[in-house]
Amino acid sequence: MIPVGGTYTIDARQAHAQLETLGARVVLPMHYRLGALGLENIGTLDDFLALCPPEAIRRYEGSALELTAETPAQIGVLTYQMT
């Protein structure tokens, strides 16, 4: 998991630069503004995803992901579910 929203953490560009250093097979972005949710001074998920190859992005319909040895390399985007 990597923060991508900036201000209080690293921003989208800094996070993207860290991806090669980390060498993670699966990356889950976190700490970003989601529509009306979040502070105005925090970047959006789209700011980060715009820096990533589209073929690496995989969106999930839930807020959980089970990682196995077969899970392909990816930028995993979980769906925030309000309860």
Is 42 within 8 Å of 74 (Cβ atoms)? Answer: no
- How confident is residue 83, by pLDDT bands cut at 50, 70 and 90? low
CA dihedral angle for residue 21, residue 60, residue 50, residue 68, rounded to 10 degrees = 20
Residue 41 lies in a domain: yes
State the Rg of the chain over Cα.
Answer: 13
Q: Across the chain, what does the average pLDDT equal?
A: 92
Closest residue by Cα to residue 81 from 34, 48, 46, 43: 34
Domain that holds residue 31: 2-77
Residue 73 lies in a domain: yes
Residue 82 lies in a domain: no
Report residue 14 CA to chain centroid gap. 13
The reported pLDDT for the residue numbered 34 is 85
Residue 83 lies in a domain: no
Q: What is the pLDDT of residues 25-40, one digit of tens each?
A: 999 999 999 877 778 8
Residue 46 lies in a domain: yes
The reported pLDDT for the residue numbered 30 is 95
Number of domain units in the chain: 1
The reported pLDDT for the residue numbered 32 is 93
CATH classification at residue 50: 3.60.15.10
Could you tell me which residues are beta bridge partners of residue 34? 37
